[in-house]
Amino acid sequence: MSLSDHEKEALIALSLVRGLGPGRIRSLIDACGSARAVFAADPGRLRAIRGIGSKICGEIRQLDRAAQVRRQLNLARNVGARALAPGQAGYPPLLKETYDPPPVLWHRGAEDLTYDFPIAIVGTRRPTVAGRRNAYNLARSLGERGWTIVSGLAYGIDAAAHRGALDAGGATVAILGCGADVVYPVANRRLFDRIVERGAILSEFPMGEKPEATNFPRRNRLISGMSKGVVVVEAFEKGGGLITARFALDQNRDVFAFPGPAESVASAGSNRLIQAGEAKLILNADDVEIEFDTRNLTTGRSVVHGQDNRAQDDDPIVGILSADPQHIDAICVATGLHPAEVQIRLLRLEMNGAVSRLPGKRFYLRR
């Protein structure tokens, strides 16, 4: 998309107005015709736009537009960052399709990322040793196959996912809850620098913005929005990983989760996602690729699942399932099997890619 420098600067200015989020900015541009036209519009016209009112209109009029935009561009220039608008090269295409894509994304790092196969890997900042290992191994394996790993640069699962992708020689994207020129957490400085060199740092927040608690839920919707799916490795009953999963479900993205021990509080949230049918259980990268029906993106090799298809064909559940989803209770009645046995068989079939799960404990045959 061709965008003049003046229009991009007007978009940057709107993103700096207090009380204006992506939705209200979109309403202003739709009503006025362009971002530049917003600043030239009569105050009465702005106040009449739904969701704007006198307070936000006053903020728009009081903004020292030229000075603030100049400051942002100078800060960006100092660290090699650039501003991207939806539709421009480098703006994640899946993010553009979401309900409220940021009107401005600040980008640092590789300019040739295509985001063809982005997958988010998220979870708790306080993982178990197994959780950290699962995040690293999954990211490394997917990175070797050509996937771009998306996460939030936080301690724990996020950092392990970024490192796995980088160690695989793959691409990774960190989406921040602060300005793209702010390293947070500071202890991840070396990892931050590696991502700038080999992947990308993205943020919708102004340059120089410090990390605030309210920023991170907003950040999480971008992690899910730019990805084909979200993998929750470990998550407590409450936390950012579950927030990202909720956003993913709202955005019609696939959600996956690693199962954890029943007594592990670090897996309580991710286990609940699986139990509720909101996340598909996975154990490795093959399970992700099965769901998306992808091939090894680097070598073109088909993924080998290591399961004899004849054994799956002989399963009585395969015989009664079709492309039309069926509830697990109906499957129990049709097969005459005990519910526990049905659950075990469905899990095995799901892991081998023969069956897919939908919310509400419904299942359908994939082949």
* Residue pair 223/216 in contact by the 8 Å Cβ criterion: no
199, two tokens = 């992947």
Give the model's pLDDT for residue 300. 39
- What confidence score (pLDDT) does residue 295 get? 46
In sequence order, the 6+-apart residues with CB closer than 8 A to the CB of 155 are 125, 126, 185, 187, 188
Q: According to the model, what pLDDT value does residue 330 have?
A: 86
The whole-number pLDDT of residue 72 equals 98
d(CA 178, CA 184): 8
Residues 199/110, Cβ–Cβ less than 8 Å = yes
CA distance 234 to 359: 20
357 within 8 A of 273, measured Cβ to Cβ: no
Sheet order of strands, 105-109 included: 82-84, 105-109, 200-203, 171-175, 148-151, 118-122, 229-232, 254-257, 280-281
Tell me what pLDDT residue 114 has. 77
How confident is the model at residue 95, as a pLDDT? Answer: 95
Is residue 318 within 8 Å of 238, Cβ to Cβ? no
Identity of the amino acid at 275: Q
Give the per-residue pLDDT at 336.
75
Q: Which CATH class is domain 108-292?
A: alpha beta
Per-residue tokens: 115: 């985001």
Q: Do domains 108-292 and 309-365 have the same CATH topology?
A: no
Consecutive sets of 10 residues in the chain, 367 residues long: mean pLDDT of each? 85 93 92 95 91 91 94 97 92 92 96 87 97 97 95 98 97 97 97 96 97 93 97 93 94 95 95 95 93 57 36 75 86 76 75 79 81
Peptide bond into 325 cis (omega under 30): no
DSSP state of 308: -
**Where are the alpha helices (H) located in 293-354, listed in sequence order?**
309-313, 316-320, 328-335, 339-351
Q: At what angle do helices 129-144 and 157-167 cross, to 10 degrees?
A: 30
Q: How far is CA 160 from the centre of its chain?
A: 16
Strands (E), the chain: 82-84, 105-109, 118-122, 148-151, 171-175, 200-203, 229-232, 254-257, 280-281, 326-327, 355-358, 362-365
- Helices 268-275 and 240-250 pack at an angle, to 10 degrees, of 30
CATH architecture entry for 5-76: Orthogonal Bundle (1.10)
Would you tell me which CATH number, out of the four given (1.10.10.10, 1.10.150.80, 3.50.50.60, 3.40.47.10), belongs to the domain 309-365? Answer: 1.10.10.10
Q: How much is the pLDDT for 106?
A: 98
User: How is the chain split into domains, by residue range?
Assistant: 5-76, 108-292, 309-365
Write down the pLDDT at residue 340: 60
Cα distances (Å, whole numbers) of residue 360 to 6, 121, 123, 275, 346: 50, 24, 24, 10, 14
pLDDT recorded at residue 357: 83
pLDDT given for residue 292 in this prediction: 84
